[in-house]
A and B are shown apart, each in its own frame.
Chain A
């Protein structure tokens, strides 16, 4: 049933994911340096690696009566969910795991982030992380339904839940072009899913860093790495779902995939520095009253076109 995955993909996938995550972190720190008016902002490019070195050797802080087991499960789930969500995305022609229900798999893995953040927020037995964890659940309830409808619209357009088929269906026209609402909703929910940019209230500075307030040392390192990996995967999924995957003139498929992914990732990172924070309680109403009807309408139109 499954085609054999080439061995190189197994090795290349984690490297590519780590590189994309590092790229996002680097771009983010450069933009932060520009915004804060630091002299020679390009020097901030090394900040993520410095932070890695600092966190590796940092002594762990402990809170009073923490649930260490649940907290660690939460932290690791973030990385694992990002990696597992990524395995169904094509690196070039073919993903690491070509599941026949790839879109549902992607969705399921990305929902595990709910559990991850709530557990990480719960574990330290501290009020701000707990608040952050519940904030993310509130945000999740808001973004998840439009997000699912956006994913299903892409699947509907291709007539298949296999991501490879979704890419194949876009040889003539990108889904982003004739399903603009679904694409826009996907981008919004991708930002919300990675608790990034305007939707980062779960780790907001108004609650002292929220979920990650009490994380230190290697715990914090893994959490941060997982968050950037998640952002990278969320951006990368937009490429096969809406931007034609590796299809493009002249250049090989893997290069087109990489270029498009980096472009989407750059837009998401840039948006964080350009847009004001969106409160999840307010977003709930917008999401259910505007985005859900809009995606349903989009799905209806796509359904009629496909029929």
Chain B
């Protein structure tokens, strides 16, 4: 029991300290991983109350989440790779006041709330009970959250990508092989790769006249026999 208490406080301090480090460090990468350290401490704290599944899931999800954040970092930042030192806080004074206010409010809430007394015992198989709960009484909530997260993911990707399926497969979606920046196939490189690259939007004039051969006809899907480009075979 005492070991558990010591572990709890160690994790609590680690969590808060690394959470503060997010705003102290001067590098995007360090801030990201300080946040990850904070969230991992929370995940480990779940293990202390025998919520093994949720604890491990928090660790799993947070690692993936932070690394996907690193991908978004290069997509959205003005300093794409973030290699230069940069300040992690903006609007310091107001931010500090707001943060302190929210902290006091939440802490007050924790102390003022009349917490209910514990009833019953935790089930022997917590993971199984959690599953039954999600698939039973909590199903509606989980479905709504699931759809909301999926919609968010799709819209984020749509916003982030500059090429959709019409760019890849032509206006009638009838190209047999997609036109991609890298070109080529799954594993091998061949001469046709360069063809693919030329047809990608960066090519001068490529944007105005992207797919001249995509009409119906015997040569329609062929990327290899496009007379408007100079690569013969």
Contacts and interface: CB of A to CB of B under 8 A. Distances in A.
A107 B60 contact: yes
B187 A134 contact: no
Contacts of B63: 108, 111-112, 114-115
B14 interface: no
Contacts of B67: 114-115, 118, 137, 140
Contact of B33 (A115, A125, A138): A115
Interface string B112-143: 00000000000001010000000000000000
Contacts of A278: 186-187
A286 B186 contact: yes
Interface residues of A, number: 39
Interface in A212-240: none
B186 A118 contact: no
B64 A99 contact: no
A47 interface: no
Interface residues of B, number: 32
B127 A161 contact: yes
B29 A70 contact: yes
A279 B184 contact: yes
Contacts of B33: 70, 73, 115, 119
Contacts of B70: 118, 137
Nearest to A282: B186
A141 B70 CA distance: 12
Interface string B17-61: 000000000010110010010000000000000101100110110
Nearest to A136: B67
A143 B127 CA distance: 26
B226 interface: no
Given A137-B67, A282-B185, A99 B52 contact: yes
B66 interface: yes
A32 interface: no
Nearest to A103: B56
B71 A137 contact: yes
Contact of B187 (A108, A111, A115, A279): A279
A152 interface: no
Contacts of A283: 186
B60 A279 contact: no
B197 interface: no
Contacts of A70: 29-30, 33
Nearest to A280: B182
A134 B69 CA distance: 12
Given A111-B63, A115-B63, A137-B71, A101 B56 contact: yes
Nearest to A81: B63
Contacts of A286: 186
B180 interface: yes
Contact of B182 (A73, A125, A140, A281): A281
Interface in A275-297: 275-279, 281-283, 285-286
Contacts of B50: 1
A74 to B, nearest CB: 9
A196 interface: no
A144 B185 CA distance: 21
23 contacts: A1-B50, A67-B30, A69-B30, A70-B29, A99-B56, A101-B56, A108-B59, A111-B60, A114-B67, A115-B63, A119-B33, A125-B83, A130-B83, A134-B71, A141-B71, A144-B64, A161-B53, A275-B187, A276-B188, A278-B187, A279-B182, A281-B180, A283-B186
Interface of B: 27, 29-30, 33, 36, 50, 52-53, 56-57, 59-60, 63-64, 66-68, 70-71, 74, 81, 83, 125, 127, 178, 180, 182, 184-188
